[in-house]
Structure 1
C-alpha cells in the first residue's frame, strides 16, 4: 500500500500544476491512466493565452495566471508566452455576437475591414462587417510549461505513477483507498483532475453528480497559403466561433470550433464535422483548402455554467474537484493550482471571494 497526504487523479496540466504547488507542503502522488503525461486535452491544446476568453470568472482566472505565465518561477527560466494576437471578424449577422464579446473585455482595439485584411491578407474584405483585435493574446509553450511543472513536482518530492487507470475508489476511517493499475494507494485527500473522465471518478467515490459534459474539438493542419508569410499573423476567428485559424510551425492550423457531446475516449476527428468546418473557413477567405496534412481532436469538458469546478465536494469528505476547465485549462492552470493549494492547505486564497464561490462545486447544490 503506497500512501501520501494527497492523491491527484489525472496527469494533465491541471493535475500536474496543482500537485507541484501542493508538494511544497505535503506528500503528493499523481496517478495517470496513460503511459505519458498530458496525453489528452493538454497535448492537443490550441496553446494560446487570451485574456478576454470566457465568462467573468474565467477572465478573472486569466488575469491571475498572467504574471506566472510571464515569469514562471520554479517552472521555467524564461516566459512561457510569446507574441501572437487574437483577431475576431464578424459578418453582418455576427455583429451582435461581436458586441457581446466586447462587453466586459479589456485591451481590445476596433479594426476596419481594411485593417483586418492588412493583418491577414487572405480574408475576404467584403465579408467583414466588424473586427477587433486583442494584441496582448500570446502563444503558450505548453510542452515547456508541463515539463517545468513535472520537474518542480519531483524536486519537491512528489511522485507520478503512469499506466495507472483508476478502477476503484472508496473511503474508510478518514482515508481514501484508490485502486489503480493493479496497485492500491491511500490518502486522506483525493483531487479529481481527470478531465473528461472526472464524472466517472466521482461516481466511484459516490461524490456529487455534477453532470460534466465532454465535448469534442477538432483541428487540422493545412499548408501555408502560397505566396504568404504567415508567421506573424494573429490567431483569427469568426465572432460566433464557427472556425478559427492560427499559424503553427510554418503551417496554418484551422479548427471548426466544434463542440459535439461525446463519451470520454481517446478522441478522433469526425471527417464530416471537419469538412463542414473547413467549408465555413473557406467562406471567409479567398484561398481554397487544397490539402489537409494532418488532423486531430481533443475533449474539452464543461459544467452546466461553463465555469470550472474547483473545491471540496459537498457530500464526499476529502474529495476535491479540479475539473470542468473546458477550453481554458492551460491558461487557467497556474491560478487554479495556487487556489487548490490554498484551499487544501488553508492559506491565502489570492482570489476574490466571489470568484472562489463561483468555482465551488456546492453551487450546483445550494
Structure 2
C-alpha cells in the first residue's frame, strides 16, 4: 500500500481536549488535519478526567479562560451534543486547624470572582455528611461549580471538526517534523502531512514534539494523577453533595453515579507514558480519605491514572514559538484543560490566524502574554 500524503492549511498534533477543540475552531476557516497517535482520541488524559467546572480553581490566566468558557457551556453550537454539558456540583474546600491560613488566603483571593462563603465546622457537616467529626475546622463553599460531561464535550468538538470539513487521523504518531521553505513536513505512522502551520497539542508528549520541531524548551513536566472508585457507605443519600477538596489539594472526594470517586490528588513527575496507578498512591489515597471522612474502605472497585502536564507557573502555554516559524504551542493545560477548553481554543484559533484576542476573553482581563511561550524564557 502506498504511503498517504496529505496537505492542509494547518496540522494539529494530538486529539485530546486541547487538540480537538482548537482543530474544530480552526476548521471554521481553514483546512485542518488532526493527527492522533492512539486508535482512540483522548485515551491518555481527556478520557480519564473527572472534570468539574470550577471558576475558583487555578492560577489567574486559567480562571480568566474558565470564566470566558461559561457562555459556550451554556449555549453550545447546534448539533454539538444532545446532553447538557454542565450539571450543578458545589465545591467545598476544607481545612484542618493547621490549614486555616491557606483557607483564608483562598477565600480572600476568590471572593471577588466567585460565589464563595466561609463555613464553620458545624456547617460543613450540613453540606458534606461524610466528614469525620473533628477533622475540618472550616471550609469554603463555592456554589458556582458544575460537573462537566467530559466525553460529550470532547466528542462534540470532534463532531464539529468533521462537520466543518476537518480530517481526523488516528494511529498517526509523529515520527519526524521538518521545516521546509513552504512549511512543515510531518512524518507520521499514517503517512506524510504537510502544512504551513503546526499546532502542538500533544499533551504529555508536547515537550517531545517541540524537541522534534527544534522549538524552545518550555519546561513541560507530565505528572501522574491517581483516581479510584469505592462503594458508598450504607444509607448514604447525598449524591448531590459537593466535591470535597483539601485546601492544600492533598485529596478529593466526589459522589459519582452511585459510588464515590476519590483521589490523593498526587502530582508525581513522570515520563510521557500510558500511566497506570501505583499501589503506594492507592494506599495513600485510602489513608487520607479515611482520615478525613467517616468511611471504611475495604475494596477498591476500580482505579486508574492519567497524566496532567504543567510548566512552572501552572498556566497553559498558548502561542507561536519564538524559535521556529509556524510552530504553535497549545500545551501545559494541567488539571484545568477541560473547564477552560472552549475559551482556550478560541484564543489559540485567533492567535494562529493572526486575529485579535476575542472579546469574551479580553473582557475577562486575560493578557495573551500571560500564556505566551516567551514568558518561559523570562522565567528561566
TM-score category, normalised to shorter length: over 0.9
Instruction: Look up the match of 1:100.
Output: 105
Deviations 1:206-259 (A, max 9, x none): 000111000000001000111111311110111111110111111000000000
CA distance in 1, matches of 2:218, 2:184: 20
Instruction: Look up the match of 1:349.
Output: 357
Deviations 1:91-136 (A, max 9, x none): 0111112122223212111112122111221202311111111111
Task: Structure 1: give runs of 5+ residues left out of the alignment.
Answer: none
TM-score (norm 2): 0.94
Deviations 1:163-203 (A, max 9, x none): 01101001011311001114111001000000000010000
Partner of 1:339, secondary structure, is helix
The partner residue of 1:215 within 219, 223, 247 is 223
Residue 267 of structure 1: CA displacement? 0.4
Q: Is the CA contact 2:12–2:19 (under 8 Å) kept in the aligned structure 1? A: yes
For the structure 1 residues 108 and 128, does the alpha-carbon distance in structure 2 shift closer, same or farther, using more than 3 Å as the test? same
In the alignment, structure 1 residue 252 sits paired with structure 2 residue 274 = no
Q: Is the CA contact 2:21–2:157 (under 8 Å) kept in the aligned structure 1? A: yes
Partner of 1:253, secondary structure, is strand
The partner residue of 1:88 within 93, 98, 101 is 93
Single out whichever of 279-288 and 317-326 deviates more from structure 2.
279-288
Instruction: Look up the match of 2:160.
Output: 152
Instruction: Look up the match of 2:42.
Output: 38
Instruction: Look up the match of 1:29.
Output: 33
1:57-68 equivalence runs, <5 A = 57-68=61-72
Instruction: Look up the match of 1:233.
Output: 241
Single out whichever of 205-214 and 117-126 deviates more from structure 2.
117-126
Instruction: Look up the match of 1:264.
Output: 272
Residue 43 of structure 1: CA displacement? 0.6
1:69-218 equivalence runs, <5 A = 69-74=73-78, 75-76=80-81, 79-105=84-110, 106-218=114-226
Deviations 1:301-336 (A, max 9, x none): 001111100000001100000000000011111011
1:15-26 equivalence runs, <5 A = 15-26=19-30
Q: Is the CA contact 1:230–1:250 (under 8 Å) kept in the aligned structure 2? A: no
Task: Structure 2: give runs of 5+ residues left out of the alignment.
Answer: none
The partner residue of 1:361 within 349, 354, 373 is 373
Residue 354 of structure 1: CA displacement? 5.1
Deviations 1:327-350 (A, max 9, x none): 001111101110111112233312
Q: Is the CA contact 1:29–1:158 (under 8 Å) kept in the aligned structure 2? A: yes
Deviations 1:125-171 (A, max 9, x none): 31111111111100001111111111110010000000011010010
The partner residue of 2:324 within 292, 303, 316 is 316
TM-score (norm 1): 0.97
In the alignment, structure 1 residue 304 sits paired with structure 2 residue 308 = no
Residue 280 of structure 1: CA displacement? 1.1
Instruction: Look up the match of 2:55.
Output: 51
